[in-house]
Amino acid sequence: MLNNSLLALLPFAALASAHTIFQQLYVNGASPGHLVGIRYPTYDGPITDVTSNDVICNGGPNPLVTPYSQVVIPVPAGSTVTTEWHHTLDSAGTNDPADPVDASHNGPIMTYLAAVPNATQTSVTGLKWFKIYEDGLDSNGQWAVQRLIANKGKVSFKIPSCIANGHYFLRHELIALHAAQGYPGAQLYMECAQIQITGGGSASPATVSFPGAYKGSDPGITYNLYNGQKTYTIPGPRPFTCDGSGSDPGNPGQSTTSIPTTTTTVPSSTTSAPQATQTKYGQCGGTGWTGPTVCAAGSTCKDVSPPYYSQVC
C-alpha cells in the first residue's frame, strides 16, 4: 500500500516523462502518411479543463500547426481504422522510454465522430459528436493504455457500417489518470483526423457536445488510480452500434457484441465473371485495397495521396 507522501509525489514524477500525440491514421492497414489529414500540435501536453473548447481537437496550451492539412482521408464504412500515438512528433523508432506514452499514464482510450460540411473547415465548435469506440479497465486489471503500449502505440477499431456518407472529424482521445485524484487532474490527450465516410447507410446516432460531454465530477474524470479500485466508469456516452446494442467490438472490459460490417465480394479474375463496380466517391484502389477497382459509369478512378488511396471522381 502506498503511503500518502509517496502518493502525492507520483503524479509529479510522472509528469517529467509525460505526454503523447495521436499522429497517424491507417484504413484497412494503409495510411496516407505521418501527420497527413490530422490536426496536430508540436507540443505533446494535455488538456485538463473539460469545460474548455480546447477539449474538442486540442489547441490552447498546445497550439495546433497551421495551415491545417488539406487531405481528407477516405474511410469506407465498416472498415478497420488504426490510430498511432507517439510521445513526440519524432520519437517513433527511438529509444525514448516514454514512447508511445509513459507507462504511468494509465487510463481509457475513446473515439468520437462528428459530421461536418467539409473536413478541412477551420471551425470545430458547435459540433455534435457520437462515440464509436471505448476501452478502459478490463477484468484482469489491465488498462487501455497498457494495451496501446504493448501494441507500439497503435489502437484499432471499426467504423460503423450504417452511418451516413460524408465528411467527419474523427476525435481520438486518451485520458491519463495518474494525477486524477482531484479536479483538474486527469490529463486529456486528443487530436482530430479529417475523414470522408463512403459506402455507408442512413443511421442517425444520438450525439453529445464538446465541451459538455464530461464534467469534472464524473467518476471517469476524477479517479484515484492508486487506491486499488477494481472498476472504472469510462466518461461520456456508450459507443454507437448499428444494432442498437450500445456495445463496442473487440474491446476488452466492455461488451463484445459485434457491429455489423459490410463485406465486399472480390470478383474472380476469369473473364466470364462480372466485375464489381464502386459507387461515386468510393475507394477504388491503393495499397492493401481488395475491393472494387472499376468505377460506376461516368466516373474514373483518380489517385489521392498515392500510393495509399485512389478515389472515384
Compare 301 and 231 and report the one with higher pLDDT.
Answer: 231
> Please, are residues 282 and 181 in contact by the beta-carbon 8 Å criterion?
no
Grid coordinates standing for 18?
509525460
- Give the containing element (helix H, strand E) for 116: strand 109-116
CA–CA separation, 19 and 108 (whole Å): 14
3 state SS of 261 = coil
> Please, are residues 158 and 261 in contact by the beta-carbon 8 Å criterion?
yes
**pLDDT tens-digit profile of 189-226?**
999 999 999 999 999 999 999 999 999 999 999 999 99
Task: Please name every residue paired with 243 in a beta bridge, in sequence order, or none if there are none.
Answer: none
Look at residue 149 and tell me whether its pLDDT is greater than 80: yes
Angle at 75 between CA 146 and CA 160, to 5 degrees: 70
Task: Please name every residue paired with 76 in a beta bridge, in sequence order, or none if there are none.
Answer: 198
Q: What are phi and psi of 249, to 5 degrees?
A: -75, 150
Closest CA to 209 of 270, 130, 155: 130
CATH of domain 18-259: 2.70.50.70
Kindly report the pTM of this predicted structure.
0.76
Half-sphere exposure of 212 (CA within 13 A, CB side): 10
**In whole angstroms, how far apart are CA 231 and each of 69, 92, 201, 220, 248?**
39, 32, 36, 10, 18
**pLDDT tens-digit profile of 180-192?**
999 999 999 999 9
Which range has the top average pLDDT, 4-13, 60-69, 259-268, 299-308?
60-69
* Mean pLDDT in residue range 151-170: 98
Pairing of strands 309-312, 301-304: antiparallel
Grid coordinates standing for 25?
491514421
Grid coordinates standing for 183?
479536479
**In whole angstroms, how far apart are CA 183 and each of 51, 53, 180, 219, 224?**
12, 17, 7, 11, 11
Grid coordinates standing for 98?
516514454
CA–CA separation, 275 and 179 (whole Å): 56
> Please, are residues 113 and 169 in contact by the beta-carbon 8 Å criterion?
yes
CA–CA separation, 3 and 164 (whole Å): 52
Residue ranges of the domains in the chain?
18-259, 277-311
